[in-house]
Amino acid sequence: MVRGALIGLVHDQAMRLPGKEAESEAVTLINSDVDSVESVGEILHDTWAYLLEVMIGITLLAARLQWFAFLPLAIIFACSRMSAYVAKHLEPRQKEWNTATQERISTTTSVLGGIKSLKMMGMVDATQCRIWKLREKELRLSERLRWILVAYNASANSLGIFAPVLTLVFYALSSGTGELHANDVFTSIALLSMVTHPANMVMTLVPRAVGIMANLARIEAYLSQSPVLDSRHNNGKEGLSLVSLEYVSVRHPSTPDPPILRDVSFRLSKGELIVCTGAVGSGKTTLVMALLGELPSTGSINLASKKIAYCAQAPWLPSVTIRDAIIGDSNYDQEWYKLVLDACCLSPDLESLRNGDSTFIENNGMNLSGGQRQRVALARAVYSRYDLVILDDPLSALDENVAEQISDRLLGPRGLFKNMNAGVLLMSNTTKLFPMANKLLVLQRSEARLQDPSTVQQGKIPGSLVPSAASDQTTQPSELYYRKAPGQSQRNDNATEDLSRKAGDIALYGYYFNAVGYRNAFLVTLCTATYSFCLTFSQFTQMKVAIRSGIVLHSQLLERVLGAPLSYFAETQIGITLNRFSQDIALVDKQLPSALANLSTQIFKLLMQVALIVYVQPVMLAMIPPCYILVYLIQKVYLRTSRQLRFLDLESRSRLNTNFLDTTSGVTTIRAFGWQDKFATENIQALDMSQKPYYLLLCLQCWLKIVLDCIMTIIAIGLITLTVMYRNSTGADVGMALNLMIGANTTLLRLVQNWTSLETSLGAVARLKDVQECVPSEDAAKGALEPGPKWPSAGDLRTENITVSYSQESEPALCNVSFRVNPGQKLIVMGRTGSGKSTLMLSLLRLIETKHGSTSIDDINITHVPLQILRQRGIIAVPQDGFNIPIASIRFNLDPYDKCTSDEIVQALRRSRLWDKIAAASTDVDTILNLPMSAILPLSAGQMQLFALCRMLLCVKATAPTKPIIILDEASSSLDRETEIILGDILRKELEYHTVIMIAHRTEGIMDTLRPSVDAIATMKDGKLRVSVIGTSTDCVGES
C-alpha cells in the first residue's frame, strides 16, 4: 500500500511540474527511494512486536532471577546509547549516497536517450568515463556509510554475546556459592534469548529506519516542488476568439533578466492561421510555452479551451504503436484516421513497414526516421480535432516536396484545418508558408508585431527575420528495427547495531572462575572473542565485497551497453536498460554482499547447532534425514514459485519504468492535450500489474516463515517425546538441547530468508551477465589497423559499391552506391524523406555496417579503423538531434575530452553567437564554463544547432593538424537567414580545407559559399546517389 501510494504521488507530481524538473528525479525516486520506503510498515509492526516480546521476557526472567532480570535492560540501554551516537552520522551519509545515485542515474538516462547522437559525435569514451567517475563517487560515499554500519553492527551484536554471560555471572556471584543449577541456567538462557534477540532486532531496525527517513526526505522534497503556475484564463466556448493575448510579457522564472517577450497582444479566431516568425532565439518557443501555461506571464491570456492540439519542435512519442500514438485519448474513427494519414503523407511510410501502423515505437521513435517522428506527432495534433492548434516548426524534418504536400493538405484553402474551422498558430521561418497565413506575427527585440503576409513580397520584414525559402531537415529512411522485449527489476535493505561493557570485583571474578575452572573460562572467552571478531570482520569484508563488485559489474555493464550497436537501442525499451543501471546495480550494491555473508554465517551456525543437539541428544540423529528431506522439498517449491514471481515482478516494473519515462519526457505535450487523466490511468494500470507479483511474493515469504516455525515445533515435540520415552538424558542435556532448538529455529528462518535474498540478488547478477554475454558489440575493427597520428591528412573520401541494410531481413537502404569526395571539397546531399541520406551518413560512421563494398579515407579502409578513432578523428559529425547532458558542465558538453583551453572555448562560443547568452550567468569565464547545462537558459532549436556547430569547431581545433571529414546532418534546419550566414562563414573560413558532407533540404543560405567546378551537390533517390559538380553538366562519378 505504501509503495502504491508513493508511486502514485510521484507520478501525479510529475504531471504538475515543469518538464525538466519532472524528468530529472521521478524515475530514480520510484526505483531506489520508494523501494527502500516500502518496508516502513514491516518495521513499525516489528518494532512493537519486539518490544512486547522484550517486556514478556523480562517479566518471566524476573520470576526466576529477581532483580538481576533487569541487568540485560542496563546492557541494552548502554548499547543503545552507543548506537545512538553512531546513528546520528547515518542520515547525512545516507542522503549523500542517495544524491550521488540520483546524479548517476540521471546522467545514464540522458545518455541512453541520446545514444545515437552520442555515438555519431564519438563521445562514447568521454561519457563512459564521466559515468564511471560518478559511479566512483557514489561508491566512495557508500563506503563512508558502510564504515558507520560496521561500527553500528559491532556495537549491536555485543548485546547478544555479553548480556546472557554477564547476567548469569552476576546472578551466580550474588548467591555466595558461585553455583548454578542446570534448570536455572538453561531456563534463564532461554528467557534471556527472549530479551536479547528482540532487543538486538530493534536496534538492527534503526539503520533501516534512518535510511527510510533519508529516502522519505527526498520524496518529500520532490513532492514539495512548486508546480507549473498556469496564469491563463479559460473563458469557455462563448468567447469571440480561441486565444486572446493582451500586453503579455514572459520571462524565465529562473532568471531576473529582462522579459524575453514584452507586451505581446494578438487574437486568434476560428478558421484563422497566424504564422509566427522571428530570428533564432527571438522567443517563438517561449511564446508557445506561455500559451500552453508552461511559463508564467504577466498580462492577460484568455482561451476558449485549455485543451490545445500541440506539435512540439522536438517531437515526443510514447512507447506504444504508431496508431495509438496518433489516436491518443480520442476515439478511433477509421475514415478520419485514414484522412489524417494521407494529409500527413504517412500512408506510404506505413505501407513500407512490416507491421504497418501496429509498429511499436521504441525509445521516443529511435526506430523511426526524423521525418516520420515529426509527421506522427503532427498527425496526433490533427486527429484530435481540437479547435486551437499550436504547431512549433512542425515541418523542419521534412524535404521540400513532402513539406509542400503536407502544408497544402493541412493549411491550404481546402486543407483539413480549414475544414475543421480550427485556429492555427504556426511557428516557422519558412517564407513559402507566409502566403497561406491570415496574419504574420513577427518577433523582434522582445516585441511582437502583427503584419500582413503580403509584406514578405514588399520587403517590409527585416532581412534577418526572413529565412531561406524552403522547408527543412532530413530524416532517416523508414526502415524499422524490429521489437524484442524482456524486462526486469527489484529491491533491497539491511543493517544492525551494538556496544559492550564490563563491571565487577576482580576477587569475585577470581572466585567464580575458580569454581568454573580456568580452562573453561579461557575457552568461553576465546570462543566469544573469536565470534565477535569474525562477526565484526565479516562486516568489513562485506564492505570490500560490495565496493569491488559494484565497480566491476557496473563498469562491465556500462562498457557493454555503450558499446552496443544502434540496433540494440532501437529494439530494447529504455526502461529495461535503465533497470539494469538502477534496480540491478542497487541489488549488487546493497543486498547481495550482506545476503552472501549472512547466508554463510547462518549455514555454519546451523551446522554447529545441529551438531551440538546431536551431541547432547544422540536420539535426534534419527530426525535429521526426514527433516532435511522436508526442508529440501519446501525450499524447492518455494524457490521455484518465488523465481517465477520475481520474473513477473521485474517485467511489470520495466513497464512501470517505461510509463514513467514516457510521462516525464512528454509532460508538456500531455498537459497541452489535456490527457493527464489518460496517463494517470495508464500509470495506475501499470502500477497495479506491478503490485500483484510484489504482493504475492510477500505472501509467499509469510507462508515460508509459518511452515518453518511448524517444522521446528514438530522437531521440539519430537525431542521431548524421545527424551520422555528413553529417559537416559540429564536435565542439563535436555535444557541445552531445547535452548539450541530455539536458536536453531531462528537460524533456519534467517538462513532461508538470506537464501531468498541471495537468489534475488543473483537474479540481478544473472541479468547483468546476460547483458554481458548476449548484447552484441559494435564491430570495433576488422584487422584493427591503427592509423598514424596525422590521419586523415587530406580528407579524401571514396565509397565503392556499398550496400547497406538495417537488418539481415530488411531490404537494402543503399544499393551499390559509389562516389568520391576530393580533399577540401564540399558535398551537399539532398533527397526526399526516406531516400537514404541519413543511412549514408550512418554507414560512413559505421553505425550500421555495410553488407558489400568499401569506404576509405585517405586510402585507409574505415572497416579496419577502431570506431572511436574513426568518430573522433576521422569524421566529425554534427547530428540532426543535438545531444547535451543537462547535469554536465558547459565545458564537458563542448569539449568532452578536455583538449581546449577556456579562451578557445569562449572564442568558439563567440564565433557561433552564443557567448552573450551563456555569459549572462556570471562574469568569471571558468565559473561560466563549469556551470551545468541546466543552469543556463533553455536554448532554442536554432541555438542548439549553433551549440553543436561550436562543439564541431572545438573538435576541429583539437584534432589539428589532421583534416577530419565534417558531416553536417541538417545543421541549418532551424536557422534563420542571419544565422545561416554564420554557418556559411564557418564553411568558408574554418572549414576551407576540410572535406564537408552536408545533408540538407534547403541550400539557399549556403549556396554562395560553394565553389563552382569544385564543390558538388548529390541527389539521393531510392537508395541511389547521383553527384553533380556545381557549374558543370556532368556527374562527378555518374549514377550509382
**Where exactly are the structural domains of the chain?**
2-225+486-774, 269-297+320-359+368-465, 797-1035
The answer on pLDDT for 383 being more than 90 is yes
Total length of the chain = 1040
Task: Return the top range by mean pLDDT from 332-341, 555-564, 962-971.
Answer: 332-341
Cβ neighbours of residue 28 under 8 Å, at least 6 residues apart? 101, 102, 105, 106, 582
What mean pLDDT do residues 16-37 have?
73
Report the pLDDT value the prediction gives residue 494, as an integer from 0 to 100.
35
Q: Look up the pTM and report it.
A: 0.69
Q: Phi, psi at residue 581, to the nearest 5°?
A: -85, -15
CATH topology of domain 2-225+486-774: ABC transporter transmembrane region fold (1.20.1560)
Burial class of residue 521, CB neighbours in 10 A (0-12, 13-18, 19+) = middle
Hey, which bits of 839-975 come out as E strands? 850-857, 860-861, 875-878, 965-969
Sign of CA dihedral 855, 857, 861, 863: negative
pLDDT digits (tens, 9 = 90+) for 213-250: 878 888 888 888 888 888 888 876 655 688 888 888 88
Assigned CATH for 797-1035: 3.40.50.300
What mean pLDDT do residues 430-436 have?
83
Contacts by 402-407 with C-beta closer than 8 Å and gap 24+?
402/345, 402/371, 402/471, 402/832, 402/833, 403/430, 403/470, 403/471, 403/472, 403/1001, 404/432, 404/471, 405/345, 406/343, 406/344, 406/345, 406/375, 406/378, 407/432, 407/433, 407/436
What DSSP line would sit under 659-706, residue for residue? HHHHHHHTHHHHHHHT-HHHHHHHHHHHHHHHHHHHHHHHHHHHHHHH
Average pLDDT of every residue of the chain: 78
CA–CA gap between residue 919 and residue 906 (Å, rounded): 9
269-297+320-359+368-465: same fold as 2-225+486-774? no
The per-residue b/e assignment along 252-284, b for 16 or more CB within 10 angstroms, e otherwise, is eeeeeeebbbbebebbbbebbbbbbbbbbbbbb
Report the pLDDT value the prediction gives residue 480, as an integer from 0 to 100.
34
pLDDT digits (tens, 9 = 90+) for 125-157: 888 899 999 998 888 888 888 777 777 666 666
Q: Phi, psi at residue 6, to the nearest 5°?
A: -65, -45
CA–CA gap between residue 260 and residue 289 (Å, rounded): 12
Strand partners, 830: 1019
Cβ neighbours of residue 899 under 8 Å, at least 6 residues apart? 954, 958
* Residue 262: alpha-carbon gap to chain centroid: 38
Asked if residues 916 and 936 have their Cβ atoms less than 8 Å apart, the reply is no
CATH topology of domain 269-297+320-359+368-465: Rossmann fold (3.40.50)
DSSP letter, residue 590: I
Which band of pLDDT confidence, cut at 50, 70 and 90, is reported for residue 82? Answer: low
CA–CA gap between residue 276 and residue 287 (Å, rounded): 10
DSSP letter, residue 135: H
The answer on pLDDT for 299 being more than 90 is no
Asked if residues 551 and 132 have their Cβ atoms less than 8 Å apart, the reply is no
Asked if residues 460 and 277 have their Cβ atoms less than 8 Å apart, the reply is no
CA–CA gap between residue 879 and residue 475 (Å, rounded): 11
Strand partners, 802: 817
Comparison of pLDDT for 108 and 458, the residue scoring more: 108
Report the pLDDT value the prediction gives residue 366, as an integer from 0 to 100.
73
Can the peptide bond before residue 879 be classed as cis, meaning omega within 30 degrees of 0? no
pLDDT digits (tens, 9 = 90+) for 697-740: 888 888 888 888 788 788 778 777 777 776 666 666 666 676 67
CA–CA gap between residue 213 and residue 87 (Å, rounded): 12
pLDDT digits (tens, 9 = 90+) for 168-208: 777 777 665 555 566 666 677 767 777 777 777 777 677 67
